[in-house]
Amino acid sequence: MRYKISKFDIFLVVALCPLAVLGFDTPTMGWSSWNTYRVNINDSLICHQADALVETGLKNAGYNHINIDDGYFGGRDEATGMLKFHPVRFPNGLKPVMDHIHSLGLKAGIYSDAGANTCGSFWDNDTIARNVGLLGHEINDCQLFFIELGFDFIKVDYCGADGNQNKQLYYYEPAERYAAIARAIAETGRDDVRMNVCRWAFPGTWVRDVATSWRTTTDINPSWESVRNIIAENLYLSAYAGNGHYNDMDMLEVGRGMKPEEDRTHFAMWCMMSSPLLIGCDLTTLSPETLELISNPELIALNQDALGLQSYVAKTDGTTYVLVKDVERRDSTTRAVALYNPTDFVRRISVGLDEIQLAGNASVRDLINRRNVGNISDALSVDVPPHGTGIYLLKGECRRMRKLYEAECAFLSRYQELYNPGYVGSAYYAPRVGASGGMVVRNVGLTPSNDIIWNNVRVDDDGTYTVSFKVFGDRPAEIMVYANDGVGIKLPIKGNPDGEIVNAQLQLTKGNNVIRIAARDKAPDIDYMTIIP
Ligand code: GAL
């Protein structure tokens, strides 16, 4: 009998192989040694954690990496410069450990530094780890890691290239260092290695060209303050994530002493914000609650959604936040919504369906508690406990055109968090009293590339639209507005510190549009854009 491909087969392929279909990776999932063990790791410990990842069912839930962080180094051979492994912690080197990880059907990750020394040699007194970083050893070390040993992932730290964290006071330019390392990985011939940039802040939009993920903050620790601060620092970075490249909110501290509500917020928001999910606790002593939370298939599906989108802030009163993202298909009637309450009090958080571009009757599913909570036709309103979060999947009847686009959620081509934006000429988002969402984008202009771009402006029909911008300025200025590949339209700004609205008539096409603002001189603060057919 000939086997015929059925609709169900196609459904399976589409549902189970999002990577093959869309051609990019979803956020990395797995376990990493650092949070619990710091540099005190060894071969049997890593192998036991790998075994536990399989035995607990976490591998089946999607966690497929075992990442060895700092602590395995044993200096370099003086004659050959070859990297050595720690004589006590890894007396037989890394190969047997690697083979064990791979034999379980898992991928393996390794750690190094963009400079000469590692962070552990500086901060954890792991003196044997001096001069073991990638600086000057890019080609040989990459050959060792990815060809001889067969690692699949590398986290590249930065202590050795940041003069505050190395004894030699060496400072290097991160874009150059990481590009050199990316080239060395490419030279091994492998195109499937994932690189994580660990520069402890959003380093610049160049990072998308070299890495699959990048840390956006300093190190996480198992406290509510830490989790809250990391979420705060990632709220307005969604435009930089996607297509296989993600903001890394750091390894998970779930199961390491925070309150249950805080653990839930931590895990759920990492899922909503498309962060890599690297478990950081001891997998051999997981509590049932921790295992259940980090195995939640509906939250994991949100994180591993084939669109690979990070949620953006749809609404805030300055203390609580509503975040939203499309899942499965862009601009469809299904959207994921987070109601996030970082305050110390119970807060009622509400969002109208119109504020998230849905209409009609919408079914609501609670993804954290995995239950249907009924239908709504106007607004979702929930009493959210202190430090708590509700994550809901809404399926409405219609999808409406979005009319308001905040500037702080847009793509800033020169955005970076390493240098003073005034010196290097990079736009950034900043709080401003009286601004919609409490935020504006500041410092656009002066260089043509220092622009602001709304990349996903969807309209229902071809036509001319009135596109308005709310700006705050203190002197006359001029901005240029571009729609798609069209010619720029010059908009004069009077300069009003209380805010003013300027309009442009733009030709937009049905479906997706790109709208961009640039300025010859410094642009006023940009608050938001509205689109009226
Ligand atoms: C830090 C990094 C941590 C960990 C540590 C190792 O710089 O942010 O995640 O890798 O170094 O020493």
Ligand 1 contact, 34 CB (< 6 A): yes
Ligand 1 atom closest to the CA of 118, numbered from 1: 12
Average pLDDT, integer, range 497-522:
97
Pairing verdict, β 29-32 and 277-279: parallel
Measured distance CA(76)–CA(54) in Å, rounded: 34
Angle between helical axes of 95-103 and 43-55 (0-180°, round to 10):
10
User: pLDDT > 90: what percent of the chain?
Assistant: 94
Q: Is the CB of residue 59 less than 8 Å from the CB of residue 106?
A: yes
Q: Ligand 1: which atom is nearest the Cα of residue 120?
A: 12
In the reported structure, the alpha carbon of residue 120 is separated from the centroid of ligand 1 by a whole-number distance in angstroms of 7
Interstrand relation of 452-459 and 511-518 (parallel, antiparallel or unpaired): antiparallel
Amino acid (1-letter code) at residue 159 = C
Q: Is the pLDDT of residue 13 over 90?
A: no
pLDDT in tens, 173-220: 999 999 999 999 999 999 999 999 999 999 999 999 999 999 999 999
Q: pLDDT (tens digit, 9 = 90+) per residue, 290-312?
A: 999 999 999 999 999 999 999 99
**3-class SS of residue 260:** helix
* Model confidence at 17: pLDDT above 80: no
Does 198 contact ligand 1 (Cβ within 6 A)?
Answer: yes
Residue 439 Cβ inside 6 Å of ligand 1? The answer reads no
Mutate to test the pocket of ligand 1, among 32, 35, 67, 70 (most ligand atoms within 8 A of CB): 70
- H helix or E strand, kind and range, residue 75: strand 73-76
Which residues are identified as catalytic? 157, 219
Return the CATH fold of 7-303.
TIM Barrel (3.20.20)
Q: Which residue has the tokens 């990316």?
A: 182
| Residue 526, H or E segment | strand 525-532
Confidence at 6, pLDDT banded by 50, 70, 90: very low
Question: For residue range 409-463, what is the model confidence (pLDDT) as tens digits?
Answer: 999 999 999 999 999 999 999 999 999 999 999 999 999 999 999 999 999 999 9
Mean pLDDT of 147-168: 95
d(CA 69, CA 32): 7
| CB of 219 shorter than 6 A to ligand 1 | yes
CB 280 within 8 A of CB 251: yes
- State which H helix or E strand residue 292 sits in: helix 288-295
**pLDDT at 397 (0 to 100):** 98
Q: How much distance in Å is there from the Cα of 50 to the middle of ligand 1? A: 21
Q: Is the pLDDT of residue 1 over 90?
A: no
Mean pLDDT computed over 220-243: 97
Residue 319: pLDDT over 80? yes
**Distance separating alpha carbons of residues 251 and 65, to the nearest angstrom:** 13
CA distances to 184, 194, 260, 286, 368 from 289, rounded to whole Å, are 42, 31, 8, 8, 12
> In the structure, what pLDDT confidence band is assigned to residue 33 with cuts at 50, 70 and 90?
very high
pLDDT, one tens digit per residue, over 94-104 is 999 999 999 99
Helices of type H across 111-259: 119-123, 138-142, 174-187, 207-210, 224-234
Protein residue whose Cα sits closest to atom 9 of ligand 1: 219
Mean pLDDT value across residues 25-37 = 98
110 CB near ligand 1 (under 6 Å):
no
In 86-166, where do the E strands start and end?
A: 107-113, 153-157
User: Which residue intervals of the chain bear CATH 2.60.120.260?
Assistant: 404-532
C-beta atoms surrounding 418 within 10 Å: 17
119: Cβ below 6 Å to ligand 1? Answer: yes
Q: What is the pLDDT of residues 73-82, one digit of tens each?
A: 999 999 999 9
- The pLDDT assigned to 21 comes to 45
CATH topology of domain 312-399: Immunoglobulin-like (2.60.40)
Q: Which residue's alpha carbon is at the smallest distance from atom 1 of ligand 1?
A: 119
| Lowest-pLDDT range of 141-145, 161-165, 448-452 | 161-165
- For residues 19 and 307, is the Cβ–Cβ distance under 8 A? no
Second-level CATH architecture of 404-532 = Sandwich (2.60)
Mean pLDDT value across residues 326-331 = 96
Q: Which of 195, 197, 219 to mutate to test the pocket of ligand 1 (most atoms within 8 A of CB)?
A: 219
Ligand 1 centroid – CA 532 distance (Å):
48
